[in-house]
Amino acid sequence: MKNPDGTFTAFFHGIDGDLWGINDNTAGTWSAFAAAAPGTPKMHS
C-alpha cells in the first residue's frame, strides 16, 4: 500500500507516531527508506 516513490508509505509511518520520520520525510530520506523496505512492521495503522 505505497506509491512507487514510497511517499504514501512514509505518510502512514508518520500516522504511526514516528514524528522524526515526518521530519526526515521533508528531506526525502524517510520516503527512500520506506521505498526500500516495503511492508515493514510499522504498517499496522
Which range of residues forms the domain containing residue 26? 7-36
Cα separation, 38 vs 45, in Å, equals: 15
Q: What is the pLDDT along the chain (45 residues), one digit of tens a residue?
A: 455 565 666 555 555 555 555 555 555 555 566 666 666 555 444
| Residue 16 counted as domain residue | yes
Cα separation, 11 vs 18, in Å, equals: 10
| Residue 18 counted as domain residue | yes
| Residue 17 counted as domain residue | yes
Using a cut of 0.75, tell me whether the model's pTM lies above it: no
| Residue 15 counted as domain residue | yes
| Residue 43 counted as domain residue | no
Per the structure, the count of domains in the chain is 1
| Residue 45 counted as domain residue | no
Predicted local distance difference test score (pLDDT) of residue 25? 52
| Residue 22 counted as domain residue | yes
